[in-house]
C-alpha cells in the first residue's frame, strides 16, 4: 500500500505521463506531491539532483521525466535521446537509493524489444535480438535504466519497478507535427487540413505497421494497481490495451474523430519503424487488471483536450 501522506516525487510532471499521475494522485487524495518544473530542477545535473533529494527526502519516486518523441525525433536527435535519458534516470535511481526511497517506478519502452520480437512481446524477450535502428539510442538508454533498477533491487534490496507501456497517447501529449508521436501528430495535421479545406493529407510511411495504443490514464491506473497491491518481482511488467490497429486504420479513425473527409495518401519515403509491437499482458491479466478506455473514446478525449489547449500549443 502507499500511504496517502507519502512524499511522492513525480519527476517530469508537466508531460503526458506526469500530468496523468498528478491528476490521478490528487483525485485519489494523496496530499504530499513533490513537483519541480524544468527551470527549478535540471534532472540531468547530478549536483542539483543530490541537493534536491537532501532537501525534499521523497518516499516514492515516479520517473516520468525523459527525452521522448516519435520516430522522426528519435532519428534526428539520437545524441540527446541517449544522453538526456541516461543522465536523468541514473541521477534519479541512484539518489533514490542513497536517499532510502522505498518505491520507485521507472518506465521502459516497447522500442527496447528486438525489432522482430515474437508477437505479442513477452517480457523475457527483452535483450534477445537487434533493435529497430531508428530508435536504437533511446532503446539502449531505456534498457540501461531497466538493468539499473534490477541491479539495485538485487544488490540493495530496493523495490524499483520497471513498467513497459505500449504506445501512449492522451492530454498533454506533444502535438508537434515533426517531433511528436503518431496520434498527436496526426490529430494536428488532420485538424489543420479540415480547417484549411485541404483535399489530401500525406501520412508518413506505408500505413502497414501496427501499433497498440494505451490511453495514458489507463497506464497510471495500472501502476497504482501494482503499487497498491504490493505486487513485486524483479522483472519488468508490460502494460497494454489489447487494441492493435494499423497506421492506415488509425489515420481513418482520427479523420473521423476530427471530422476531416479528404483523401489520405501514404508517403513511403518516411520510415515505418517496427512492423509490429503488441505487448503480452499475461502478468497484469493474471493479477486482474485491464485497460478501460477504448481507442475511439480515448481519441475523442485527446482531440477535445487539443481543441481546448490549441492556444497554448501554437
Active site residues: 138
d(CA 116, CA 133): 12
* Cα maximum dimension of the chain: 60
Site for ligand GFB in 26-65 (CB under 6 A): none
Of 155, 62, 78, which is closest to residue 111 (Cα–Cα)?
78
Please report how close the Cβ of residue 276 comes to ligand GFB at its closest, in angstroms: 10
Site string for ligand GFB, 78-117 (x = CB under 6 A): -------------------------------xxx------
Grid coordinates representing 135 are 530508435
Nearer of residues 143 and 224 to ligand GFB, judged by Cβ: 143
Give the shortest CB-43-to-ligand GFB separation in angstroms. Answer: 19
Q: To 10 degrees, the CA torsion angle through 177, 85, 274, 182?
A: -20
Closest CA to 137 of 114, 111, 166, 160: 111
Residues 278 to 307: which contact ligand GFB by CB under 6 A? none
Comparison of 48 and 176: residue with beta carbon closer to ligand GFB: 176
- 46: helix, coil or strand? helix
Is the CB of 90 or the CB of 110 nearer to ligand GFB? 110
What is the Cα–Cα distance from 35 to 297, expressed in whole angstroms? Answer: 30
The site for ligand GFB, by CB under 6 A, has a size of: 26
Give the C-alpha distances (Å, rounded to integers) separating 284 from 177, 222, 270, 298.
33, 8, 35, 21
| Stretch of 58-66, 69-77, 89-97, 143-151 lying at the interface with ligand GFB (CB under 6 A) | 69-77
Q: What are phi and psi of 15, to 5 degrees?
A: -90, -175
Can you tell me the distance from the alpha carbon of 226 to that of 232, in angstroms, rounded to the nearest whole number? 8
Q: Nearest-CB residue to ligand GFB? A: 70
Instruction: Figure out which of the listed residues 45, 270, 300, 305 binds ligand GFB, where binding follows CB under 6 A.
Output: 270
Closest CA to 65 of 52, 159, 280: 52
| Rounded Cα–Cα distance for residues 21 and 18 (Å) | 5
Pick 50 or 253: Cβ nearer ligand GFB: 253
Find the shortest distance in angstroms from Cβ 71 to ligand GFB: 4
CA dist 165 and 143 (Å) reads 13
Residue 215 touches ligand GFB, criterion: CB under 6 A: no
Using CB under 6 A, pick the residue from 64, 71, 101, 237 that binds ligand GFB.
71
> What letter would DSSP give residue 66?
S
> Smallest distance from the beta carbon of 130 to ligand GFB, in angstroms?
15
Taking the least distance from each CB to ligand GFB, the nearer of 101 and 214 is 214
Does residue number 70 form part of the binding site for ligand GFB (CB under 6 A)?
A: yes
- Footprint on this chain of ligand GFB (rule: CB under 6 A): 70-72, 74, 109-111, 134-135, 138, 167, 181-182, 185-186, 189, 203-205, 209, 211, 247, 270-273
Amino acid at each position: 500500500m502507499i500511504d496517502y501522506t507519502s512524499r511522492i516525487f513525480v519527476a517530469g510532471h508537466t508531460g503526458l505521463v506526469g500530468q496523468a499521475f498528478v491528476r490521478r494522485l490528487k483525485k485519489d487524495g494523496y496530499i504530499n506531491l513533490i513537483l519541480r518544473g524544468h527551470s527549478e530542477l535540471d534532472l540531468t545535473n547530478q549536483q542539483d539532483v543530490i541537493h534536491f533529494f537532501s532537501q525534499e527526502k521523497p518516499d516514492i519516486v515516479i520517473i516520468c521525466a525523459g527525452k521522448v518523441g516519435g520516430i522522426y525525433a528519435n532519428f534526428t536527435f539520437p545524441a540527446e535521446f541517449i544522453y538526456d535519458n541516461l543522465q536523468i534516470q541514473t541521477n534519479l535511481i541512484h539518489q533514490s537509493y542513497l536517499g532510502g526511497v522505498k518505491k520507485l517506478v521507472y518506465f521502459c519502452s516497447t522500442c527496447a524489444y528486438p525489432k522482430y520480437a515474437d508477437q505479442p512481446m513477452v517480457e523475457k524477450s527483452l535483450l534477445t535480438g537487434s533493435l529497430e535502428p531508428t530508435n536504437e539510442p533511446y532503446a539502449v538508454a531505456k534498457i540501461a535504466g531497466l538493468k539499473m533498477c534490477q541491479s539495485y533491487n538485487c544488490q540493495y534490496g530496493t523495490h524499483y519497478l520497471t513498467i513497459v507501456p505500449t504506445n501512449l497517447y492522451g492530454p498533454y501529449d506533444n502535438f508537434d507535427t515533426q517531433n511528436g508521436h503518431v496520434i498527436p501528430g496526426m490529430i494536428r495535421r488532420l485538424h489543420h487540413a479540415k480547417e484549411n479545406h485541404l483535399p489530401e493529407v500525406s501520412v508518413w510511411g506505408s500505413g502497414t505497421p501496427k501499433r497498440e495504443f494505451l490511453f495514458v490514464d489507463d497506464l497510471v491506473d495500472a501502476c497504482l494497481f501494482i503499487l497498491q497491491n504490493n505486487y513485486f518481482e524483479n522483472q519488468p511488467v508490460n502494460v497494454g490495451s489489447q487494441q492493435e490497429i494499423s497506421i492506415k486504420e488509425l489515420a481513418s479513425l482520427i479523420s473521423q474523430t476530427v471530422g476531416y473527409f479528404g483523401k489520405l495518401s501514404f508517403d513511403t519515403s518516411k520510415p515505418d519503424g517496427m512492423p509490429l509491437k503488441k505487448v503480452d499482458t499475461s502478468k497484469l491479466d493474471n493479477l486482474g487488471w485491464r485497460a478501460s478506455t477504448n481507442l475511439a473514446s480515448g481519441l475523442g478525449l485527446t482531440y477535445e483536450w487539443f481543441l481546448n489547449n490549441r492556444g497554448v500549443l501554437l
